[in-house]
Amino acid sequence: MLDSYKISFLGIIYFSLKAFSTKSKQPKSLRISIKNFNLMAQTYLIKRSQIEKVLDMKDCVSIVENAFRLYGDGKVQMPPKVYLSFERGDVRCMPVYIPSMNIAGVKNVNVHPKNKNLPSVMATITLFDPETGFPLAVMDGTYITNMRTGAAGGIAAKYLSIKNPKVATFIGAGVQAETQLEALLITKPTIFKIKVYDADSDKAENFAKNYRKKYENLMNVLKTNSIEGALQNTNIIITTTPVKKPIIKAEYINCGVHINAIGADAKGKQELDSEILKKSRIIIDDWEQASHSGEINVPLSKGVISKKDIYGNIGEIVSGKKPGRESDDQITIFDSTGLAIQDISVAYEVYKKLTSNEETEKDIERVNFFK
């Protein structure tokens, strides 16, 4: 009788352990941190160089598209980003909880344009276990920010540009233009000609030269000497400049074009002539953020447009709640301010890849903050 109890008891333990080990697809490190907090109270410190090894643009586009879908379906808890304003710049705090992924996180990112010995933009991301609040990882967020912003532009073009675009124009030739181009070529592979303009002529020339070399005979990449010339006979326009006075004039815009307005990320910034918005289908990522600091913030404050002129958000488009482009003559605009769900979704996938592989996991520094 005693032996039968032993067998039953051992069987319960065996099947319980088996169920626990297979129940969750989360990395072992996350499961341990939840169940055995005192034994594994260590937080991973993940550097940019480690993130770059496991995150490419193709994966990033897929992750961000799913994030937009969850957002459109209302399956996230995401307050608008909070701004702390200083004399020389600002810091933005962006939290989100994603129940379906069992993860939460916060990105903190600064913008200090006048920095000399430091980058003007630096970001960190902290991932939290929702069950305990334990900080699973603190990681570089600058690379992830660049990648997810590029991915968002590519996804917007997928849903909002004409079916088979041939030509894309970039106004601004900085780092963000590079990730925008990478994502665009994934979601719209029919593009074979790129035009680029930058107020810094050398920067535009280097951009064109680098991408001509990268794509060789597959792509024609041209530097242009004027914005007006760059916008002639184009299908997609990507603006990534920090200007406060519009540089894209209404008379430059042809019917059927799609615009990714990426540059406006603070109150008072504006890249597009307000008249363009009045004749376009406007898609934002988030009303609170876009109305405060996106491309629509200045036209709204001046009464040129109102909330009723906003067609919808990118989550509604991706989730199928609203159609995107409905005719080849339509002008569409995506006003991108960046959502926390983009950052945390991408960061969590990076975290899982790095910590579930023994070879990469052993190289990550860990710290117990609560000793």
pLDDT above 60: residue 275:
yes
pLDDT above 60: residue 201:
yes
Q: Which domains does the chain have, with CATH numbers?
A: 37-144+342-367 (3.30.1780.10), 149-339 (3.40.50.720)
Q: How is residue 251 annotated by DSSP? A: G
pLDDT at 6: 41
Give 137's contacts (C-beta < 8 A, 6+ positions apart). 43, 44, 45, 46, 125, 126, 127, 347, 351
Structure tokens that stand for 201 in this block: 């002529």
The CB density around residue 274, as the number of other CB atoms within 10 Å, is 17
Residues in the chain: 371
Q: pTM surpassing 0.95?
A: no
Active-site position among 107, 158, 352, 353:
107
Average pLDDT over residues 358-370: 94
Examine the residue annotation and report whether 203 is marked as an active-site residue of this protein: no
pLDDT at 36: 52
How many DSSP H helices and E strands does the chain contain? 14, 15
pLDDT at 2: 40
Are 149 and 183 in contact by the 8 Å Cβ rule? The answer is no
